Amino acid sequence: MAIRKVFIANRGEIAVRIIRTCKALGLETVLAVSAADRDSLGARRADRTVCVGPPRSTDSYLKIETIVHAALATGADAVHPGYGFLSERAPFARLCEEHGLVFIGPTPAQIEAVGDKLRARHEAIAADVPVVPGAEVNSVQEAVEAAARIGTPLLVKAVGGGGGRGMKRVDVLGDVPHAVELASAEAAAAFGDPRVYLERYVSSGRHVELQVLGDGHGEVIHLGERDCSVQRRYQKLIEETPAVGLSQRLLDDLREAGVRFAKRLKYRGAGTVEFLVDCERDCFYFLEMNSRIQVEHPVTEMVTGFDLVAEQIAIANGEGLRMRQSDVALLGHAIECRINAEDPAQDFRPSPGLVSVAEWPTGEGVRVDTYIQGGSRVPPFYDSLMGKLIVHGSDRHAALARLEQALAATRIDGVATNIDFHRKVLGNAEFRMGGVDTGFVTRI
């Protein structure tokens, strides 16, 4: 049965973005909203909304049974989870399938395979993809012994983690026990899984990820890489494609490795294989795979011309891959800035509240994905992301010039934002040269 009605189990800018593609495809949309999002832009643009609970996500957007029941009650054929919330929860995907709902994403087994960081490492090794030297640990004593072998600096990482939560850097071996206890407690609170493992910390590394599409039967293509090295506390702020300053050999090897990893899983849908590029050794290591659409997917769309959400829906609808690798051409350069309601002067503290003025740029090569307009409210219950400013140019120089103009034309009043921070980054000589590492933000 062809998909006709899509239930969107998300909010904010990604909900608005999914609705846009569904409308272009002639699909009806139903949007799940919490009590805090009843009057959101997504709620106004969807064909129908269903309130799934109180403002806090644990009482609404994360209630698996409630979401599935709402999708069924509204006659939806399929569920799009967006990113975050339930997008990488295998029990959610499984419950959707058990009730005859098409889950627009990978299979539950694939989500489980990459959601467990240790299992993902094993899959990478089996696919002949290099991994960061590290060790599985089941106790503080094992961690101390493993750390002595690996050496410092190193990272203690949550097995079920992501977004920097459950991750601690260790520079002195004597700090290992405390770091393991902190990371384990944080991981248990955030993910319900206290397990951690150790990895060597690469002091001069770049975060480079590969966008892949798979048909679920072993056919996989890539749509180029994205450099996401401008980040704070492991949270991305600026993403761009293509990655500059890397040798063609390394890029070719990285792309082949990402495709090889996804092929091993017979991956279905859109996914991102993330790598850490060791600048000093001119090599790369597998980090993890995100089994969902990424926040930064628009830069890939800008250089390829493909609508990734439309491709997700086509694959979920049984149409398979609608292009071959030879059909993918990476044209020009694209950069994305995440516009957040946060105060960089106060250690990027979230700044929820009422947006009195929202002026977004327009023009050739400029795209804005947002749910914020004048009069919109940034709730205190969710991520601080208000929107994404994306530009495209014939090359990186042209894209940077266009981004400077776009940021200058962006005005958000009523809440603190990181717009001036982005302008500061663009004015930095090291950033303008390209190829900064993940420690860049701490140096400016």
Give dist(CA 442, CA 113) in Å, integer: 34
Contacts of 45 (CB under 8 A, 6+ apart): 16, 19, 20
The Cα 81–Cα 167 span in angstroms is: 25
196, containing H or E segment: strand 196-200
> What is the DSSP secondary structure assignment for residue 414, as one 8-state letter?
S
Q: Which of 182, 159, 187, 160 is nearest to 169 (CA)?
A: 182
Residue 278 CA to residue 229 CA, distance in Å, equals 12
Tokens of 155: 């990272």
Identify the bridge partners of residue 215 per DSSP, sorted by sequence position.
268
Cβ neighbours for 100, distance < 8 A, ≥ 6 positions apart: none
DSSP readout, 315-340? HHTT---SS-GGG----SEEEEEEEE
Indicate the residue type of 215. Answer: D
165 is annotated as an active-site residue: no
Q: Pairing relation of β-strands 48-53 and 78-80? A: unpaired
Question: What is the helix (H) or strand (E) element at residue 145, kind and residue range?
Answer: helix 140-150
Find out whether 268 and 213 touch, Cβ atoms under 8 Å.
Answer: no
DSSP H stretches of helix in 74-139: 90-98, 108-115, 117-126
Q: Taking each helix axis from N to C terminus, what angle separates 419-426 and 396-408, rounded to the nearest 10 degrees?
A: 150
Question: How many Å apart are CA 376 and CA 153, to the nearest integer?
Answer: 44
Under 8 Å between Cβ of 386 and 371: yes
Q: Supply 412's token pair.
A: 């958000």
**Which is nearest to 385 in space by CA: 417, 345, 347?**
417
Q: Which of 165, 195, 292, 338 is catalytic?
A: 292
CA distance 360 to 410: 5
| DSSP-derived secondary structure letter, 63 | -
Residues marked active site are found at 292
